[in-house]
Structure 1
């Protein structure tokens, strides 16, 4: 029952993330994307602070917790920075499906990072996903564009975040770990914004635009504060591969939201590409024949 509740909570997170693709894309038409991320994650921290118990403040977070939170925050920063900037150059539906490739990258990186024994099915799913990404990318007249490549880097960042969340979440207070990683994202986003983004055309009126306010409220509360606390808390009772599979629904929700709110449509090749990617997400979790007999890895289904 506990795992079922965890899976349901994580599916809700996937829905929120998929649904906010459109609102973020509309907001960054007024506010630079890195600055938007910095404000979004800072607001999320402020929303979480009231839940820190006074008694907990006397327990100074350990250096190990801080390191773990900063590392998770760095991977999150990579994911959101490249995703948000990528949305300037590609559609929200394409960005959603490319981001979904992280579910395929998770088991592949676990082989390199955590030394999990490789399974033949992992490589099959990677090939299927690559074909899907190709079909999806050429579905537009301009083919593979700069935004698609940025979002692909974001997928790698999110995959690393899932892997290391599974590694660290069981060892630390989920609220402290969540706040530490969100603060890291906010600081890195602000620094990057000051270096790379142009503030000359930004005015006070840009921040009070309806699209910006709605995006900041929905993303800071639901898609950041709630979402990452839920992930950090419930990934302790399920496997990283199961989490990645649940998050595979995010691009589906993103495409549905883009259709309902923006009227975006994929071509026939694009829809076939999406089908390939979604199939790859499912195939990655099928039982495969390992190259060597070994103990079940972290990424085997529980």
Structure 2
């Protein structure tokens, strides 16, 4: 189960890594709030047929588990609010800083998650803390290449984004064991999409022609990044240590660079390749069982 969840989170990171291209392209046509509104609402719509099919399948098999609708709705609202704030800070921040610095600062949630987790009784082993340090070093070597400059407004916005994505991971960690992952994901997209739409109407001038012009990046971000990836995150995080989950998800930065290498012909230098290797090493280290967990793993095998 742990390996399966880790693979689901790795697939999530892969989809998000490629989605950086879609997010960047979409900003050429529409504003941040409008872009996030469209992608989140599409993500919610994509999941509706899946939810209907799953419910019908459970009824046919006479497997209809008791469901706490209050917890489901509350969890969806909390996850949606965190997603709305984090995703929009990211969209605004990336306009004022370099892509490398944006990737590094955003992925700093791998440090923020365990720090915030301490306040909620989430303890981490020395191996996981070591993996966090390795991941930070790897991200720095991967993203902070040349001409990084000083801290600017975009960097501060991305730092807030990293904190908010950390909160989003911890909120999912709290609610995912108590609610259906697909339904929770659908509600969070609906909340984030509606809130983004309201702010878009207040502070932007959304036009249908602009959305149609950006249909390719919006569709990818909506169907894959939202509908598929965020749902995989919720399902994959069930029973996972949130710090380990954040380490796996942080691979989106490495995957984004690798995607640029394979798909766009962007070459990696020795420093960037070393950063990728260190990042993958951190993920492997985080998966090593410790103490009683090691004994349980051996017993299971």
The alpha carbon displacement at 1:42 in A equals 0.4
Indicate which of 249, 257, 268 corresponds to 1:247.
Answer: 249
3-state DSSP of counterpart to 1:170:
helix
How big is each residue's C-alpha offset from its partner over 1:78-117, in whole Å with a ceiling of 9 and x where there is no partner?
22111111221223343223221111111110012x1335
State the partner residue of 2:299. Answer: none
Q: Which residue of 2 aligns with 1:228?
A: 230
The alignment status of 1:205 with 2:212, answered yes or no, reads: no
Q: Secondary structure in 2 aligned to 1:20? A: helix
CA distance in 1, matches of 2:248, 2:124: 21
CA contact (8 A) 1:83 1:151 kept: yes
Give the C-alpha shift of residue 41 in structure 1: 0.5
Report how far residue 164 of structure 1 moved.
1.9
| Distance of 1:266 and 1:86 partners within structure 2 | 25
RMSD: 3.8
SS in 1 for 2:231: helix
What does 1:99-178 correspond to in 2, within 5 Å?
99-112=106-119, 114-117=120-123, 122=129, 125=132, 129=136, 139-140=146-147, 142-178=149-185
CA distance in 2, matches of 1:124, 1:170: 25
Tell me the CA shift for residue 24 of structure 1. Answer: 0.8
**How many aligned positions are there?**
285
Query: How far, CA to CA, are the matches of 2:278 and 2:81 in structure 1?
Result: 26
Partner of 2:18: 19
- CA 1:275–1:153 in 2, change beyond 3 Å: closer, same or farther? farther
Per the alignment, do residues 198 and 106 of structure 1 end up closer, same or farther by CA in structure 2, a change over 3 Å counting?
A: same
Quote the offset at 1:246 in angstroms.
1.1
**Residue in 1 aligned with 2:74?**
67
Higher helix proportion: 2
User: 1:15: Cα distance to partner?
Assistant: 0.6
- CA deviation string 1:249-293 (max 9, x = no partner): 11111223345566778999x959967994996699499x9xxxx
Shift of 1:234: 2.2
Further displaced range: 93-102 or 133-142 = 133-142
Which runs of 5 or more structure 1 residues have no equivalent in the other structure? Answer: 290-294, 297-302
Name the CA distance, whole Å, in 2 between partners of 1:134 and 1:175.
Answer: 36
The separation in 2 between residues aligned to 1:274 and 1:72, in whole angstroms, is 31
CA 1:4–1:229: 2 relative to 1, 3 Å: same
TM-score, normalised relative to structure 1 = 0.77
1:134 Cα deviation from its structure 2 partner: 11
CA deviations over 1:176-227 (Å, ceiling 9, x no partner): 21111111111221122223x331xx55432222xx2111111111111111
Residue 142 of structure 1, CA deviation:
3.7
Match of 1:78 in 2: 85
Counterparts of 2:134 and 2:224, CA distance in 1? 34
SS at match of 1:89: coil
In 2, Cα distance between equivalents of 1:282 and 1:19:
20
Deviations 1:131-159 (A, max 9, x none): 97699669426422322221221111111
Unaligned runs of 5+ in 2: 294-301
Check whether the contact 2:261–2:268 (CA below 8 A) recurs between aligned residues: no
